[in-house]
Structure 1
């Protein structure tokens, strides 16, 4: 029999063993959910680091990782102490290599930047040894790094110091030359991903936190460059275009011309004409069970946990939404409309079965409709100025209106629209009106149109000047334009006065309908509602828009003289497919202008096109006698800053068909 004193001692020791929390520096508590990153709770809340207060970051972390107080306790067990149970040995999981990232995707771009940083020898060695995924860093571990460069996506890239294996670390909101402390949260091929914990030594020549205008910067995933001067941002984007053609085109350096300076945006804040805040709902927030086996009327007996409704944008590096009350890169009319849009969601949150995305789009007020079927809200017939139409088809009781009315008109600095009133459109099916220079465009709010109206006149003018260069003779002057992926007709309609015949081709029938309406809106000769597929029927019309797939995109313009034809390409992010490029090689227009929202897929496509021309062989001469070999030369490459304060860059490549000497 053990004495009561001894039994009490044993009980206290056993309780101490089960309740002690062994949290060491750089480690994640074992109770943490495996899918979530370790965070530093301060005064009962979770806060992300402030980039303008680096000294606070280190003290917060040091307080969090203080060691336990009972590591040095002497444990004396009595004779009656139970033997420890043998721990279960789990079999190690076999590593399954993930598939390669999609070509030209964000992950693919990062991987190319990482491999260029660690070097080809290290890449080859690790790949051969199958250690390219074997990270030397643990999740939750903190490391001190010297930033080497910025990736094409705007995050900093650093190499682990020796004696570590060649391994890169990707950290947001840090700049080249800075000494930083970062906390690892995930790893991928040749690199790890980390949160910025502290800027130990800032790059004072680049970083100026007084430039930052957004209170969410450093947490929101939207902007990366607010601490940089605008001149620095433009140069970084020029280098992104340069790296894209180095890593993705597969072309020799002598074929790629020097990258021209990035075309700036007239507005660097308050320019974005479309934002899409989103939100989630609490699990079981409507008192219903979730899942395929749950009946619609079955109540959930589990009490709901406290849930904070957040309406905004994604948090950097996390799969959650942060609450956003203002977006400084959005236009003033959208920021004024954001408050009533948020209030509407908060009032009606119980009506949503799942999360949704709101649409807020800047529009010129359209003239009053001329017939009853036109339901444009600009007629003043809206009944609820704060209701919104989220993109959630399962949400009942949502008022369908087309705009949020504001108490005061918002003027734009564009001289051609100084006196025009702006409203906020929230219905995907409503019609948006925008002015680009002297040209008007209307399109459904849910369809694609560039989101920075202020820079579009510069883009159109640059494309026009690239087509009609000072050295262009009258005999070689282009007379025909083909606008592929034309959307609602931005290039076709803006450039139509400079051409004899214009054809726009697009897979979306709705976009083609908008393009035809925009031609009429701007006084261009109307194209047929149902255009004939016969080239003979269309050859006398100055502008024609046709819905068609890429496999047959040039069938409607086969009568255009290739030697006097310019083709504009403005595809989605994935770029062009092989059938489209094959048609270009067969058609051989005199000049190509490739506008892209993804310079990496553009570089790939341009490289593929030049190689396809090389393999196409000789073509018959214009006079029918003999043969000649032709290719495209890259006349110019240039970035366009469509989204200031972010790492994104639009790019324009101009190619000219030429004979190969010899």
Structure 2
């Protein structure tokens, strides 16, 4: 089929929008083209790299008229690295675009043009916020490389620093990279499925100052194990746990099933909103601790608890939102499909002295009906699903049992909007939406939504 726009064309156009991945959007004769690195309001020259039936892609060549919101990215590997998408956009500009992203899906998908979408709650210092880094290692030309994947590829960009991860992660990343060669330990080659070290996962507790290092290896037998442990301890005294995780499968999944403690208790602690959490190597825990408190405080505000309510926390994970709710609720029932997370949630409730919580492993759409069958009744439901949104069976369960208030915490505005439309059609009314910037410099945005039974 012939298009008005052809591959390898050099074109000039005005950028009219950003995609959810942070690429600029231009239209040539009504045909959309997505151009990474271009910003709304700019006039750019670009080369068409790919054409599909309904849209195409371009490579930015020159910015002819720059946006007032364009800034010089401080990261030396931006934009080749896939970790950040919008470092070239001022932080005020980022917050404005993220609000627009949420507003657009509320209008287009949820069909809720009159529901307020508030300005995004951002950070005072939107750098060095990540408390978890997952760094791939590989062999290249006889030396070890480590860093992050080049955008859209599995090719590692060798780097010494990342400006959105902790300084502790930088130190560990560099130390292991330069120390492996001296110790004669090979990094992983995913094409040949050979080598030893696959990933290094670094977790830090902002409140505690504790650091955990997880060495993801291809084999259980660990050559020079004591030397590697000493190497890490020597450069970072705050490392309190060093763990080996064995992943012998040829897969893109980072961690395997077997975890072996090498040093320390195997957990670190952190505190959010006065609540202490124990975090293991595989625990789900929000990446940005400062904004997590903002996010969960907003969920607590929308829950509007007086102390008499029974609350369900679906997708409860290790109990982070549950324990925030338990401060003000009569009782909180948490459900999560991952059994280890439920064990973590029970331990976290015990550590913090919460006797008004109950946690159960299973699918929410199976467990919640059983609670009702056992005579429980709930006033408020909180959901914090993965990016794919709520399971359709859970949405049907919600509409069957009809708690009077829902607080929906979302990491994907599009699936949030889809689910809101279903809940609206089932008798709920969306009151307002508060976006929160959990991932500055990236195109992602989270949102907390308040719904009431009509």
- Shift of the alpha carbon at 1:223? 1.5
Q: What is the rounded CA distance, in whole Å, between the counterparts of 1:390 and 1:643 in structure 2?
A: 25
Select the residue among 255, 268, 283 that pairs with 2:126: 268
Deviations 1:145-190 (A, max 9, x none): 2212212221100112xxxx43121111111122222233323342
Greater radius of gyration (CA): 1
SS at match of 1:185: strand
1:641 aligns with 437
SS at match of 1:158: strand
Deviations 1:216-269 (A, max 9, x none): 1222122222233322211111111111223332x3534xx1211111134400
Evaluate the alpha carbon distance shift between residue 515 and residue 189 of structure 1 in structure 2; reply closer, same or farther with a 3 A threshold: farther
1:327 aligns with 162
Evaluate the alpha carbon distance shift between residue 398 and residue 158 of structure 1 in structure 2; reply closer, same or farther with a 3 A threshold: farther
Matches within 5 A, 1:20-419: 135-160=3-28, 165-203=29-67, 205-209=68-72, 212-249=73-110, 251-254=111-114, 257-281=115-139, 306=141, 309-346=144-181, 347-349=184-186, 353-354=193-194, 356-363=198-205, 389-390=215-216, 392=218, 397=223, 399=225, 404-405=232-233, 407=235
- Shift of the alpha carbon at 1:136? 4.0
- Shift of the alpha carbon at 1:344? 4.1
Evaluate the alpha carbon distance shift between residue 653 and residue 201 of structure 1 in structure 2; reply closer, same or farther with a 3 A threshold: same
1:523 aligns with 353
SS at match of 1:253: coil
2:255 matched to 1:441? Answer: no
Q: What is the rounded CA distance, in whole Å, between the counterparts of 1:194 and 1:591 in structure 2?
A: 45
Deviations 1:478-517 (A, max 9, x none): 5111111000001111221211111110000000000000
Q: What is the rounded CA distance, in whole Å, between the counterparts of 2:45 and 2:241 in structure 1?
A: 42
Q: What is the rounded CA distance, in whole Å, between the counterparts of 2:207 and 2:24 in structure 1?
A: 43
2:252 aligns with none
Q: CA RMSD in A?
A: 3.0
Evaluate the alpha carbon distance shift between residue 341 and residue 309 of structure 1 in structure 2; reply closer, same or farther with a 3 A threshold: closer
Matches within 5 A, 1:2-21: none
Q: What is the rounded CA distance, in whole Å, between the counterparts of 2:142 and 2:13 in structure 1?
A: 37
Select the residue among 413, 428, 441 that pairs with 1:632: 428
1:286 aligns with none
Deviations 1:197-229 (A, max 9, x none): 2222222x11122xx321112221222222333
Q: Which has the higher contact order (CA 8 A, sep 6+)?
A: 2
- Shift of the alpha carbon at 1:396? 5.9
SS at match of 1:561: coil
**Alpha carbons 2:217, 2:244 under 8 Å: kept:** no
Select the residue among 417, 420, 428 that pairs with 1:603: 417
**Count of matched residue pairs:** 424
Deviations 1:289-316 (A, max 9, x none): xxxxxxxxxxxxxxxxx56753211223
Q: What is the rounded CA distance, in whole Å, between the counterparts of 1:232 and 1:351 in structure 2?
A: 40
2:377 matched to 1:561? Answer: yes
Q: What is the rounded CA distance, in whole Å, between the counterparts of 1:496 and 1:580 in structure 2?
A: 22
Q: What is the rounded CA distance, in whole Å, between the counterparts of 2:109 and 2:424 in structure 1?
A: 13
Q: What is the rounded CA distance, in whole Å, between the counterparts of 1:357 and 1:318 in structure 2?
A: 16
Q: What is the rounded CA distance, in whole Å, between the counterparts of 2:229 and 2:352 in structure 1?
A: 24
**Alpha carbons 1:361, 1:425 under 8 Å: kept:** no
- Shift of the alpha carbon at 1:560? 3.0
Q: What is the rounded CA distance, in whole Å, between the counterparts of 2:3 and 2:180 in structure 1?
A: 43
1:482 aligns with 312
- TM-score when scaled to structure 1? 0.59
Gapped regions of structure 1 (runs ≥ 5): 1-130, 283-305, 368-375, 379-386, 410-420, 526-541, 614-630
